[in-house]
A and B are shown apart, each in its own frame.
Chain A
Amino acid sequence: MSALDIAGIDAFYGDSHVLYGVSFALGEARLLGLLGRNGAGKSTCMNVAMGMLRPRGGKVTLFGEDVTGKPPEDLAARGLALVPQGRRIFRSLTVAENLIVAARRTQGNGAHAPWDLATVTSMFPRLKERSRQIAGYLSGGEQQMLAIGRALMSNPRVLLMDEPSEGLAPQIVAEVMATIRRLKEQGLSIILVEQNAKLVFDIADDIVILNSGRVAVSDTKDNLVKQGVDLHQHLGIY
């Protein structure tokens, strides 16, 4: 059983057809890199998975349960969390409040202790320091850490990350990737959306490439490397 299964998704923004029968599956405890050019539909996939956009066709399955069309709060309760593009932390709340409002108690993820305010802030020491600061005044990197920490507070089984490295300095990007690596080691199933293919290649188990709303490539990373597939035609100029 896959952690998250997207099958035949047709999605529209108004009358604009954005996703055409998109299908892929995230294996449990695996990291899937979702790549593609600007406007290929990667964020739209994330929005559909998170229940923010209702697809006109297709099915979304979370650990075997059909969750198509369910609202985001229901999905959050079932263990799905999103680190959205642009971070979207709650600007007027403090760092601590950003974390607290997302908190969800669970029986734990088996391998490690459940996430709560203490464990999240110990993973991101800078957040602990700034715990009482208004989130809107944090730097870009700190906001990214906060967005990730906030997603963890709901003790997700599946984590969706939409361009976490966007707009960050290289050193901060390295920190973010290291964090993602740690989360993967702890058994979290992750979909990582990025425009920077190289970042994703280092860390991903599976690769899906979207091109103009359609799946162009869908395979394990190892297979792609073995076949020496040239992905540049799908990803534009790098």
Chain B
Amino acid sequence: MTATRAALVVALAALAAVPWWVQGDYYISVASQILIYAIFALGVDVLIGYAGLVSLGHAGLFGLAGYAAAVALAGGSGHFGAVALALAVALLGTAVFAALSLRATGIGFIMITLALGQILWGLAYRWVSLTNGDNGVGVATRPMPFGLDLEVASHFYFATLAVFLLALSGAWVFVHSPFGASLKGTRDQPRRMTALGYNVWLIRYFACLFSGLLTAVAGILFVYYTKFISPPTLVLTSSAEAVLMVISGGSGTLLGPIVGAALVVIVKNVASAYIERWNMLLGAIFVAIVVFMPEGLVPGSVRLAQWALKAIRPPPAPAGGSPPGRAGAP
């Protein structure tokens, strides 16, 4: 336990010190981006990893929150009001989303969420009077909490880090709570859970709402980050990238989505300077992970590390003699 705690402290310190060991505003912004997408990925992972439901429409909810905030701000609202409105709108959207999507599970759920994501994209694209269509909506200023000017890259980074840590703690509490345990139960043994008297649908529904909340938070941060939102944010590819982040990092863990988000953002922003066709790279990495390391990078690396350690250290001498075989035959 102490080893993990030490690792956490180190990680926290490293995160807090980013503006000092990462040089340049550009890379600090990339770090902010990683945190924002990490929150998004955590939201998607609540469903994929812990509820066993893959959603290909979460970019729609992400964008819904972002658009709500941007449109509110453009309409003259203050930052607090805009954020509150965005969260409310996104949660309402998630409530409807979930009610429709949970009519199915498995592949059916994937297809309904894909369609719903498309509907939201279509609305963003074509409801020009509300969303300004392809031209998008701009955000004039970032908020100034406690007099801190968030226009400065490192200040924005700290604000994002604070929100990220809050979101991560929330996810940690969620996953380790009794509710989280029953959610994992519905993922692994839905019929048994129903037989035990759990309301599987309701459990999944609340999981969707929590997932929507995290996604909305990420969407609001995103619109403050880019100071702009347009329909491509909600496109199918964006939802697919979110799934990519979760699966490649490792679904069903908390570290996995963070690693996955970092991977995708770094490839997009940093590798793209060297490789022009980074989408192909992303796709290739994803395919490789699904085929060779389906549990994801984080659990897979842990597995590899354990295997390597075992190979290096000699095993302790066996106590009884022969290794355990199959349970005795009659």
A contact residues vs B (CB 8 Å cutoff)? 8, 10, 20-21, 57, 214
- Per the bound structure, the CA–CA distance linking A32 and B330 in Å amounts to 22
**Across the interface, do A214 and B330 meet the contact criterion of CB distance under 8 Å?**
yes
For chain B, which range describes its interface: under 10, 10 to 19, 20 to 34, or 35 or more residues? under 10
Residues of A within 8 A of B329 (CB): 8, 10, 21, 57
Q: Which residue of A lies closest to B189 (CB)?
A: A14
Enumerate chain A residues within 8 angstroms of B326, measured Cβ to Cβ: 10, 57
Looking across the interface, which residue of chain B has its beta carbon closest to that of A56? B326
Q: Can you sample 7 A-B contacts with CB below 8 Å?
A: A8-B329, A10-B326, A10-B329, A20-B330, A21-B329, A57-B326, A214-B330
The residues of B that contact A8 with a CB separation of less than 8 Å are: 329
Enumerate the 6 nearest inter-chain pairs by beta-carbon distance, A residue then B residue, closest first.
A21-B330, A21-B329, A57-B326, A8-B329, A20-B330, A214-B330
CA distance A21 to B327 in the complex (A): 10
* Measured CA separation A21–B328 after assembly (Å): 9
Q: What is the CB-to-nearest-CB distance from B227 to chain A, in angstroms, rounded to a whole number? A: 51
Interface residues in B195-250 by Cβ distance below 8 A to A read none
CA–CA, A214 and B329, complex, Å: 11
* Complex Cα–Cα for A214 and B330 (A): 9
Distance of B171 from chain A, by nearest CB (Å): 29
Query: Chain B: which residue is nearest A214 at the CB level?
Result: B330
Tell me, in angstroms, the Cα distance from A21 to B329 when the chains sit together: 6
The answer for the CA separation of A21 and B326 in the assembled complex, in Å, is 11
Chain B 317-330, CB within 8 Å of chain A: the 1/0 string? 00000000010011
Convert B296-330 into 0s and 1s, putting 1 for each residue whose CB lies closer than 8 angstroms to a CB of A: 00000000000000000000000000000010011
Question: How far apart are A42's CB and chain B's nearest CB, in angstroms?
Answer: 18
Residues of chain A within 8 A (CB-CB) of B330 are 20-21, 214
Alpha-carbon gap, A130 to B252, bound state (A): 53
